[in-house]
Amino acid sequence: EIVLTQSPGTLSLSPGERATLSCRASQSVSSSSLAWYQQKPGQAPRLVIYGASSRATGIPDRFSGSGSGTDFTLTISRLEPEDFAVYYCQQYGSSFTFGPGTKVEIK
């Protein structure tokens, strides 16, 4: 099973700042099977990025994804108030696994 590690665990930033979230896999992951989700309290996760770098429908262009192999990054160029949430990366090899999440909180 591929294990995903996310860092940092918590990111404390102010609106307008840049957020850089990391997702590292225990072995190489197909970029086409790497996704990022946003989850706010009491809500279901929402797809943000799929295929490592493609934005999901309705996701603003301040969100971008990059990476390959074992290292992937989600970048939010300028944080808006609605972006403060927990972000999970997810991969699919022969089964799905999720990372433990990064909480982006208001500083």
Partner 1 sequence: QVQLQESGPGLVKPSETLSLTCSVSGGSVISGSYHWSWIRQPPGEGLEWIGYIYHSGSANYNPSLKSRVSISVDTSKNQFSLKLRSVTAADTAVYYCARTYFYFHYMDVWGKGTTVTVSS
Please count the CA atoms within 13 angstroms of the CA of 81 that sit on its side-chain side: 0
Nearer to partner 1, 16 or 58 (CB): 58
- Options 9, 14, 16, 95; binder of partner 1; rule CB under 8 A: 95
22 binds partner 1 (CB under 8 A): no
Q: Which one of 17-25, 27-35, 62-70, 72-80 is the stretch in contact with partner 1 (CB under 8 A)?
A: 27-35
Is residue 98 involved in binding partner 1 (CB under 8 A)?
Answer: yes
Stretch that binds partner 1, among 13-21, 65-73, 77-85, 89-97 (CB under 8 A): 89-97
Whole-angstrom Cα distance, residue 91 to residue 89? 7
Cβ at position 14, least distance to partner 1 in Å: 26
